[in-house]
């Protein structure tokens, strides 16, 4: 059964298609704000202040933070803008806690140290401190004492690569009284080699140089930061109070002989099947939650390659040299209708260094995972996302974020789960996962972490609309923000979805069915 919801919002019409599973909650649209800016990151990451009832949205197109009055969540009213030009080249992430907005700001060039800037809810400046190279994500600990940034440290096109790091700011005396002593940086220099199940992407680099921290999730007790090292396929644990790296664990690999995938954009359409390849989880967004006193980490297993002028690690499987002992049917596999078109990681899979790949590794896992506090996988959604989208939208399966071409992304990373949020409603814990390419949000009940239960798939994308003309709904959800009922302006749980290609911000109420 497909349920269509239409809501008039002045000049904006929000259409939502909900695809039910064993549903007990779903998303009901409240409002949608359009910047009218296509494919320039005009709506990326958001955060909310429960006291002023303001929503803050990163606008990459204008290098600013847009401020909205959300006192009535059925209508977003623009009330201001923070121009980031005075503090750096662009803003990547924002977070709000206890009357303070924190922004992660990159330098120009972005290989130089970035900035963490603090503002009041009205947008007025408080203070700033120096972060590591390319602060890509920022967050407060649950108790509000610390602010941390994941400093990605991406290389430039010549592959001059700064070290990735974590910046920790202690706000014990307030954002207006910060000194150098309140700022500490954590790097990965003590890690001599990649742990099992992880990788150093570029041969010859140290782990510290190769590490690219992508996202941070916090333990509910505010003691531990869980840091995703996306390109390294690893999870780092940091003791926040001592600003020390505890350990780094490899996340391992998705076995696509068990969990099938559609591997080609030239196979005539939907063809989800098992293949002799392994997916490298490479998570983007992380979120943490607790069940029965135990901490769990959710990951959106997007995958990410490196493609720079000086060096890259992407290669079509058709161009890999496969070991005939491991792949006696190599010619068949490397046909474009089978695995040939699928992008693989050329630096993985040749364990003995003879130039022949005994294994094939591809980007991402097309899933979300649940990990325990030690980095051990508890559950994974496997092939759910592709199976669900194939069943419900067969004409647009694995389409790209800017066009509705069938099967367009199967040779890359499929639906590409990117954003993830977690929230509690009536004693149950739910995960919301945004699909960057297909669009829409998957909802799972994760109250029993070892047995996540699919609840619903909701999309506000209109596949038949004019994408570049702004008539296709929300495209490429980048950030998902859950606002619990106790913090919500209308006393009901909300989900804010910011979509970077359509440049739109949508507000949904999480409703019981």
Let me know if residue 157 belongs to a domain: no
CB contact at 8 A, 135 and 150: yes
Tell me how far apart the alpha carbons of residues 72 and 77 are, in angstroms, rounded to a whole number: 9
- Report if pTM > 0.75: yes
Beta strands in 257-366 (DSSP E): 278-280, 286-291, 294-301, 314-316, 343-345, 361-363
pLDDT of residue 251: 98
pLDDT of residue 209: 96
Q: Span 313-340, mean pLDDT?
A: 98
pLDDT of residue 18: 52
pLDDT of residue 386: 98
Provide the edge-to-edge strand list for the sheet that holds 286-291.
286-291, 294-301, 367-372, 377-380
Report the chain's mean pLDDT, rounded to a whole number: 95
Let me know if residue 454 belongs to a domain: yes
Let me know if residue 472 belongs to a domain: yes
pLDDT of residue 513: 82
Let me know if residue 144 belongs to a domain: no
The pLDDT of residue 483 is above 60 = yes
pLDDT of residue 17: 55
Q: Span 84-104, mean pLDDT?
A: 97
Band (pLDDT 50/70/90 cuts) for residue 19 is: low
Q: pLDDT tens digits, residue range 136-193?
A: 999 999 999 999 999 999 999 999 999 999 999 999 999 999 999 999 999 999 999 9
Let me know if residue 36 belongs to a domain: yes
The pLDDT of residue 20 is above 80 = no
Let me know if residue 84 belongs to a domain: no
The pLDDT of residue 315 is above 80 = yes
CB contact at 8 A, 121 and 52: yes
CB contact at 8 A, 55 and 40: no
Let me know if residue 456 belongs to a domain: yes
Let me know if residue 222 belongs to a domain: no
Nearest Cα to Cα of residue 73 among 29, 36, 35, 43? 29
Provide the edge-to-edge strand list for the sheet that holds 343-345.
253-255, 278-280, 361-363, 343-345, 314-316
Number of domains in the chain: 1
Query: Whole domain around residue 483: which residue ranges?
Result: 1-55+281-304+376-513
């Amino acid at each position: 059964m497909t349920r269509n919801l239409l809501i008039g919002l002045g000049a904006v019409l929000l259409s939502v298609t909900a695809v039910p599973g064993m549903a007990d909650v779903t998303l009901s649209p409240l409002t949608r704000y359009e910047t009218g800016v296509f494919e320039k990151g005009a709506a990326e990451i958001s955060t909310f202040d429960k006291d002023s009832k303001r929503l803050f949205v990163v606008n990459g197109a204008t290098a600013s933070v847009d401020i909205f009055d959300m006192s009535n969540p059925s209508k977003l009213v623009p009330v201001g803008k923070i121009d980031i030009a005075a503090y750096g080249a662009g803003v990547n992430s924002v977070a709000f806690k206890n009357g303070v907005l924190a922004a992660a700001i990159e330098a120009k060039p972005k290989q130089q140290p970035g900035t963490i800037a603090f503002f009041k809810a009205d947008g007025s400046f408080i203070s700033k401190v120096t972060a590591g190279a390319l602060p890509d994500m920022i967050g407060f600990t649950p108790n509000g004492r610390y602010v941390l940034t994941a400093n990605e440290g991406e290389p430039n096109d010549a592959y001059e690569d700064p070290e990735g790091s974590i910046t920790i700011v202690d706000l014990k005396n307030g954002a207006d009284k910060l000194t150098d002593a309140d700022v500490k940086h954590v790097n990965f220099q003590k890690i001599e080699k990649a742990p099992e199940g992880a990788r150093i992407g570029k041969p010859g680099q140290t782990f510290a140089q190769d590490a690219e921290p992508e996202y941070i999730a916090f333990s509910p007790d505010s003691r531990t930061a869980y840091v995703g090292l996306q390109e390294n396929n690893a999870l780092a644990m940091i003791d926040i109070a001592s600003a020390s790296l505890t350990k780094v664990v490899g996340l391992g690999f998705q076995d696509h002989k068990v969990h099938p995938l559609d591997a080609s954009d030239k196979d005539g359409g939907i063809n989800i099947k098992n293949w002799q390849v392994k997916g490298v989880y490479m998570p983007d967004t992380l979120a943490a939650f607790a069940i029965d006193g135990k901490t769990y980490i959710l990951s959106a297993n997007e995958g990410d390659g490196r493609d720079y002028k000086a060096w890259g690690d992407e290669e079509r499987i058709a161009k890999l040299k496969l070991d005939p002992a491991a792949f006696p049917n190599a010619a068949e596999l490397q046909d474009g209708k089978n695995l040939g078109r699928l992008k693989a990681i050329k630096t993985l899979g040749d364990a003995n260094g003879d130039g022949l790949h005994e294994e094939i590794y591809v980007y991402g896992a097309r899933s979300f995972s649940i990990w325990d506090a030690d980095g051990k996988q508890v559950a994974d959604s496997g092939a759910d996302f592709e199976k669900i989208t194939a069943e419900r939208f067969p004409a647009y399966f694995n389409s790209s974020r800017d066009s509705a071409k069938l099967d367009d992304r199967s040779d890359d990373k499929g639906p590409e789960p990117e954003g993830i949020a977690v929230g509690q409603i009536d004693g149950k814990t739910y995960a919301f996962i945004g699909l960057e390419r297909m669009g829409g949000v998957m909802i799972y009940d994760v109250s029993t972490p070892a047995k996540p239960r699919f609840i619903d798939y909701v999309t506000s994308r209109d596949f038949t609309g004019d994408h570049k003309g702004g008539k296709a709904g929300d495209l490429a959800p980048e950030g998902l923000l859950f606002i619990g009922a106790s913090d919500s302006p209308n006393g009901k749980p909300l989900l804010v979805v910011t979509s970077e290609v359509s440049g739109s911000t949508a507000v949904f109420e999480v409703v019981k069915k």
